[in-house]
Structure 1
Amino acid sequence: MNPYQQGQSGYPQPQYLHNIGFANNAPQSFGNPMPMPGFPTTGYPQPQTGYPSAYPQASPGYPQPTSGYPRQSFPTNQGYPGAQSYPTAQTGSGYPPSQSYPQPSQGYPQPGQGYPQPNHGQQQQSQYQGYPPSQPHAQTQAYNVSSGPEPSTPKSKPTVVPANPFDPREDAAVLRKAMKGFGTNEKAIIQVLTRRSNEQRLRIAFEFKTLYGKDLVSDLKSETSGKFEDLLVALMTPLPQFYAKELHDAIAGIGTDEDVLIEVMCTMSNHEIQVIKQAYTAMYGTFLEDDLRGDTSGNFKRLMTSLCVGNRSEDFHVDQEKAREDARSLLQAGELRLGTDESVFNAILCSRSFQQLAAVFQEYQYLTGHDIDDAIKAEFSGDIEKALRAIVKVVRNKPLFFAEHLHKSMKGLGTNDRQLIRIMVTRSEVDLGDIADMFQSKYGESLQSWIEGDCSGHYKKCLLSLLGISS
């Protein structure tokens, strides 16, 4: 049977790989347009003169970082380009054509308890018990689904969800008691910090300073040490700042940790990338894109630049004919020519939606009889190969991608604790339960057993608590 007839009337429907990773939403800490009454609305600082005005503003509700966080500063020189606006998204790109660029509080689905998929048009409710619901406001649909119904996507399985009910002052008192006087009650610290969302932890730190005149992160650093201290500081860092610091450290100094760049840049949504870029500029006074371009080269530099723009289509609709066309373009740019036209791979893999890419990869399989991953391995090498293959893995199964990275962090002699901490902290509110399931499925052993065998002490107990396992 002609593979291009598949899916047409009278022919079998194609079975696409189940993309369980795309359903994952950004944690609440990446933007909450509904601040709680009585809490500060400081948020991230407004961009200074000379910075692009089109960067989305992080939502209010974050206390300003103090000691233990990277200090935020803005450069005083005027050497940066003047305010620019992003090009208006084209019809079908996934953004409303009336806006030049979406703001974090508009159109993005807000994850709630368990991070279910939202119903557009319904009033969003505050997830914190005891606070009034947000006022009704105009809903802006972020995805262009006019050409077809939104496909059903399974819910992800976070292991850390916002506490409900939530009393930040009571939690602050528990932490104060755990660190007051001689000795430290590490168990109490773990129970509080691993059972609250990132945003709730920041609110606890704000109340801690209000009640006791002390910085919670500084107290935690003085009362703990080693990898346990590193894990607690990561838990207490706003997620955008945490990602920004990981990217900065990956490209600062001699050498570059390309694995970190790939892990972050190839897995983030448009909204997450924009918020991370803003946090990066606020913390280090430079643009993330400029630093990435200055520390990478060749095709890998171009791929990182494209991903840093954060302009991937987020249209849920799959255009089957366009998928076939893209599959042919990839074939002609790679296997059917002498050498490789890397720009075609870059353009398709960085601009198509994840659903559309899944269809493209399936059409490539129909067309050639082998997987797109095999073609990338044959046509590319080095960092660009790893990055393109990472995009393919994230499109098909994002939790499996992170499960493989967790396995790599603990495999062999020694442990890559920084990678282990990064994944456990950042994915705990998104899909760590799915990641643990994929780990078990692929390696035949539980993620819990690997953590228990590779870590020790309170560091191990804290990681297991993030995984939803009480010690």
Structure 2
Amino acid sequence: MSYPGYPPTGYPPFPGYPPAGQESSFSSPVPPGQGFGAPPGGAGFSGYPQPPSQSYGGGPAQVPVPGGFPGGQIPSQYPGGQPQYPSQINTESFSSYPAFSPVSLDCSSEPAAMTQGTQGTIRPAANFDAMRDAEILRKAMKGFGTDEQAIVDVVASRSNDQRQKIKSAFKTMYGKDLIKDLKSELSGNMEELILALFMPPTYYDAWSLRHAMQGVGTQERVLIEILCTRTNQEIREIVRCYESEFGRDLEKDIRSDTSGHFERLLVSMCQGNRDENQSVNHQMAQDDAQRLYQAGEGRLGTDESCFNMILATRSFPQLKATMEAYSRMANRDLLSSVCREFSGSVESGLKTILQCAQNRPAFFAERLYYSMKGAGTDDSTLVRIVVTRSEIDLVQIKQVFTQMYQKTLATMIASDTSGDYRKLLLAIVGQ
């Protein structure tokens, strides 16, 4: 079930965004064939110190930095124009969201990964009072000028579920749309960040996928980042939300916007059928490593379907064991072989799966680094990753970011952004 009149005709993108004087700098996806995976200077991750592994159970964890991430020197500024991004969401529907029948998906529900005691920088606020927070936001926007700091203080210290309750309380108390009021007071990157924070997680992923395939061109990196990193449950909820909210079939949109082996990989991903058994079958790892070698390095040409089958179906722990078996057998890491055998978007997709199997926080840390490296900032990627990982594993991402790049994530954000946008990002990241 979806909302009447939602999304609005032509959504997204919309003309006239960003507002005059609020343009932000975006960079296009990494050029085909170059991929990403190299720290500054072109060195692989193996060039970084390897701290001992520790449990994430309590206190600061030392996240092991993966070795062998291949890739050449990434240019300081990706070529290409500025991709469009949407604004002016139908706030009448958005503010009352969700409104689903009992048999339909509740896109506002938190993904399973958010409820398993993981290490996010944002936790549900203690002694939460939605009506009190709604009143604070109302006062921050009432009259001449806006108290942006008050907005930051509330929004950055509440979980997504609590933000949904604040939206509902605001409408109940004042008969007004909180999102519409916020949009009238904010602009540019700050507006985009606030909107992302108030979107329920499943909806935000579905919205990001829809935007990535809307209009001229396709933002392949967004498709890869979401579909190749989420759990089965998250993907299935995204697929259902995509259909209920946008009236479209995600798989069909992928087929119409991509092609070849990349299309097949994404179609495999959006089934949400990866094995999620956490135990490892070492004999299968040996067998899969041999099959992958014979499908790539061990033959003339590449059997792409073999790579697709194994990387799309095996659990992440199983793939990690396969990568280790491959290195022992072939005297070359599997990521290097993928770079030699593939190019373009399918290479990036396969590498993302392997990177997540080896060290998921390292994958997101790398994406954050290159969203800010060089001239200009890919604000869309920066916002999306900070928001989507803020209640899952942003603590680990921050730790591995420091190990990989010898600077903190907060330091890089502070030097690359400004104003209230910077304040809110830093509040979410937690310094």
Aligned to 1:302: 264
Distance 1:110 1:266, change over 3 A: closer
Give the counterpart letter for 2:105 in structure 1.
Answer: Q
Conserved? CA contact 2:311–2:319, under 8 Å: yes
Aligned to 2:67: none
Aligned to 2:174: 212
Aligned to 2:136: 174
1:44 to 2:100 alignment = yes
User: For the residues of structure 1 that align with 2:186 and 2:339, how far apart are their CA atoms?
Assistant: 45
Conserved? CA contact 1:20–1:398, under 8 Å: no
User: For the residues of structure 2 that align with 1:288 and 1:20, how far apart are their CA atoms?
Assistant: 37
Aligned to 1:161: 123
Pairwise CA distance, 1:456: 0.4
Give the counterpart letter for 2:296 in structure 1.
Answer: G
User: For the residues of structure 2 that align with 1:350 and 1:426, how far apart are their CA atoms?
Assistant: 22
1:455 to 2:417 alignment = yes
Conserved? CA contact 2:109–2:200, under 8 Å: no
Question: Which structure carries more relative contact order (alpha carbon 8 Å, separation 6+)?
Answer: 2
Conserved? CA contact 2:114–2:392, under 8 Å: no
1:403 to 2:361 alignment = no
- Counterparts of 1:39-438 in structure 2, within 5 Å, are 43-45=99-101, 57-58=105-106, 111=115, 115-116=116-117, 156-438=118-400
Pairwise CA distance, 1:59: 7.1
Distance 1:20 1:295, change over 3 A: farther
User: For the residues of structure 2 that align with 1:44 and 1:439, how far apart are their CA atoms?
Assistant: 39
Pairwise CA distance, 1:110: 6.9
Three-state SS of the structure 1 residue aligned to 2:270 is helix
Pairwise CA distance, 1:109: 7.3
Pairwise CA distance, 1:60: 7.5
TM-score in terms of structure 1 length: 0.69
Give the counterpart letter for 1:464 in structure 2.
Answer: L
Three-state SS of the structure 1 residue aligned to 2:122 is coil
Structure 1: unaligned runs, 5 residues or longer: 1-16, 22-39, 48-55, 63-103, 117-155
* Deviation >4 Å, runs of 4+: 17-21, 40-43, 59-62
Conserved? CA contact 2:140–2:148, under 8 Å: yes
User: For the residues of structure 1 that align with 2:101 and 2:200, how far apart are their CA atoms?
Assistant: 14
Give the counterpart letter for 1:329 in structure 2.
Answer: R
Pairwise CA distance, 1:19: 11
User: Across the two proteins, how many residue pairs are aligned to each other?
Assistant: 341
Pairwise CA distance, 1:181: 1.2
User: For the residues of structure 1 that align with 2:357 and 2:54, how far apart are their CA atoms?
Assistant: 6
Give RMSD over aligned pairs: 2.2
User: For the residues of structure 1 that align with 2:158 and 2:324, how far apart are their CA atoms?
Assistant: 40
Conserved? CA contact 1:239–1:426, under 8 Å: yes
Pairwise CA distance, 1:280: 0.8
Give the counterpart letter for 1:435 in structure 2.
Answer: I
Same amino acid, percent of matched pairs: 46
Three-state SS of the structure 1 residue aligned to 2:412 is helix
Conserved? CA contact 1:184–1:223, under 8 Å: yes
